[in-house]
Chain A
């Protein structure tokens, strides 16, 4: 018997934090304009010991204004999508559940677009106006997961194949509506590939990062309080109840928080797919399926995956750029097929 201890959990998280740090360094270095890490390090050393007043202006522009915000966004979006995927997998008892596959990301996108459309017609303060998009995305995500949940039920039981099919169909239906809206309306709606494939290139105001960071911590924290309940929910709702889980409460908390995380990510980065599928799967293979480890390691793993995927998206066809969702889909879709076939076998 080797029950989980806090020490082992912290050790696993430290290893992943070091990997994340390495990926961030890579993401700073590579891009359309390569940055010399040696020169950057020397400058920072100088600043630290007051030998210089600041880092060279070329770096400041590129790193502080372009790459670092994008890395920060990648970390929050990746962690959010990965935690949302892990939660949906436990809640729906389906290891293939992912915000993108279930159509929840598309629903969040539609909600965000509708919020952007109505926003100019409401006389809101700039602060409230900025919050309207994530709110719309959250409502879109929550409505979609509710619809997909009922589509996936057969005779009162969730049927995992019907659920996935319902999600994929709902997703393509909502994508069609998004395309329709994009082609009939113009204005400040960002590009089509943003909503359908996901991008991290949109610059955001400084306050938005705070909102994203705090929103992530609150929602992921709420999900983490149910971590050991989720372990038991995997055995089925009836069994979980007999083992002492307040099933309706846990379901409500996780359902709202996971929809919120999806909405949060989609409102700033569009629909980046398969992160919530690939990352929890890899983390389960590495650290086991106990949600007390899985949730924090999946959050860190999601951050690593998205920052790395975005670095690839920026560099493989430089000076042009890929949508980061294209990179995650190239890895994620084959893995999805593989896992699906393994389950059906």
Chain B
């Protein structure tokens, strides 16, 4: 085999990897009921979408639309009633917690601490799934954790106590812990909820940069129309347990559709970037 044909094969391989479907949500549904004999209190109807490496998907909808349930199904915390979620060919909810944590990092709304910990200790927790249970952290683990802190611009927070940092700083350290897991898939549940506007933009800018640099597939649950419009490659629009549309923001952001989903009058403009902007006009 000649060197040039081998090189061509590598290129083909690389381009195939770049275009592979990494996350595939296939007709996933779920029903929650307190009592199996009664009608379910909450259902999520069959939902499908796919995402590639480097892509940001926003799951968008008002409260109680099933966004968080869909995220839990993707993270493997819940097993679907029907359908399946595939990550690089593996059925997610049948992986062990350890195997899942090597592939999927979840950033929750709140992260409480019972005893004080320093930021670096917190970030090193992300390495847990990569080591054996009684192993002490290796130099590699420390390097990866340092790198993760640097990637979110929090290297200077390393020795601070977690209960003494601001909300935005804490969110960055939590994100760094997720990066230390070296995941394929990064899931975030309302990550901007407790942040001021500057910290929101900062977080989402770094998410977009990280998704591009590290080829993460990112899924964000949010109810912020404009943040989803600005940062997402795909939007999954949810209402009352149903997935209404899947597509790029420009095709989802139609005035009548959004007014109906969010139950409020609004206008949609398209800026020079081609990304839509929503102005909520309120009741006249």
| Residues of chain A at the chain B interface (Cβ within 8 Å) | 1-6, 93, 95, 224-229, 231-232, 234-236, 238-239, 241-247, 284, 289-290, 292
- In the complex, which of the residues B100, B108, B124, B141 contacts A244, with contact meaning CB atoms closer than 8 Å? B100
Bound complex: CA of A229 vs CA of B131, how far in Å?
Answer: 11
Interface of chain B residues 144 through 189 with chain A (CB within 8 A): 145-146, 158-159, 181
**Interchain CB contact under 8 A, B142 and A243:** no
| Given pairs A235-B111, A242-B101, 4 additional interface contacts (CB within 8 A) | A2-B120, A227-B133, A242-B104, A243-B181
- In the complex, which of the residues A4, A226, A242, A284 contacts B115, with contact meaning CB atoms closer than 8 Å? A284
Q: Knowing A241-B77, A242-B77 are in contact, say whether A228-B128 is a contact too (CB < 8 A).
A: yes
Chain A hits for B104, CB < 8 A: 242
**Interchain CB contact under 8 A, A242 and B105:** yes
**Interchain CB contact under 8 A, A4 and B134:** no
Q: Knowing A4-B136, A225-B133, A231-B125 are in contact, say whether A244-B102 is a contact too (CB < 8 A).
A: yes
B112 at the interface (CB under 8 A from A): yes
What is the minimal beta-carbon distance from A308 to any residue of chain B, in angstroms?
26
What is the minimal beta-carbon distance from A282 to any residue of chain B, in angstroms?
14
What is the minimal beta-carbon distance from A236 to any residue of chain B, in angstroms?
6
Q: Can you list 18 pairs linking A and B with CB atoms under 8 Å apart?
A: A1-B124, A2-B120, A4-B136, A5-B136, A95-B114, A227-B133, A228-B128, A228-B133, A228-B134, A235-B113, A239-B108, A242-B101, A242-B104, A243-B181, A244-B97, A244-B98, A244-B100, A246-B97
Q: How large is the interface on B (under 10, 10 to 19, 20 to 34, 35 or more residues)?
A: 35 or more
Contact pattern, B 115-142, Cβ under 8 Å of A = 1, otherwise 0: 1110011001110110101101100011
- In the complex, which of the residues B108, B115, B181 contacts A238, with contact meaning CB atoms closer than 8 Å? B108
- In the complex, which of the residues B101, B105, B112 contacts A235, with contact meaning CB atoms closer than 8 Å? B112
Q: Knowing A228-B134, A244-B102 are in contact, say whether A1-B120 is a contact too (CB < 8 A).
A: yes
Bound complex: CA of A5 vs CA of B137, how far in Å?
Answer: 8
Chain A hits for B98, CB < 8 A: 244, 246
B75 at the interface (CB under 8 A from A): yes
Chain B hits for A95, CB < 8 A: 114-115
| Nearest 5 pairs of A and B residues by beta carbon | A244-B129, A244-B101, A289-B115, A3-B137, A242-B106
Bound complex: CA of A227 vs CA of B135, how far in Å?
Answer: 10
**Interchain CB contact under 8 A, B145 and A1:** yes
**Interchain CB contact under 8 A, A244 and B145:** no
**Interchain CB contact under 8 A, A247 and B97:** yes
Q: Which of A1, A2, A93, A225 has the most CB of B within 10 A?
A: A1
Chain B hits for A227, CB < 8 A: 133-134
B96 at the interface (CB under 8 A from A): yes
What is the minimal beta-carbon distance from B87 to any residue of chain A, in angstroms?
14
What is the minimal beta-carbon distance from B128 to any residue of chain A, in angstroms?
5
Q: Knowing A95-B115, A235-B112, A243-B126 are in contact, say whether A1-B146 is a contact too (CB < 8 A).
A: yes
**Interchain CB contact under 8 A, B129 and A243:** yes
Bound complex: CA of A284 vs CA of B117, how far in Å?
Answer: 11
Chain B hits for A224, CB < 8 A: 134
Bound complex: CA of A165 vs CA of B146, how far in Å?
Answer: 43
Bound complex: CA of A310 vs CA of B132, how far in Å?
Answer: 40
Q: Which of A93, A235, A289 has the most CB of B within 10 A?
A: A235
Bound complex: CA of A284 vs CA of B145, how far in Å?
Answer: 24
Question: What residue in chain B is nearest A93 (Cβ atoms)?
Answer: B114
Chain B hits for A290, CB < 8 A: 121
Bound complex: CA of A175 vs CA of B102, how far in Å?
Answer: 48
Q: Knowing A242-B77, A243-B181, A244-B97 are in contact, say whether A1-B113 is a contact too (CB < 8 A).
A: no
Chain A hits for B124, CB < 8 A: 1, 3
What is the minimal beta-carbon distance from A120 to any residue of chain B, in angstroms?
44
Chain B hits for A3, CB < 8 A: 120, 124, 136-137, 141-142
Chain A hits for B128, CB < 8 A: 228-229, 232, 243-245
Chain B hits for A2, CB < 8 A: 120
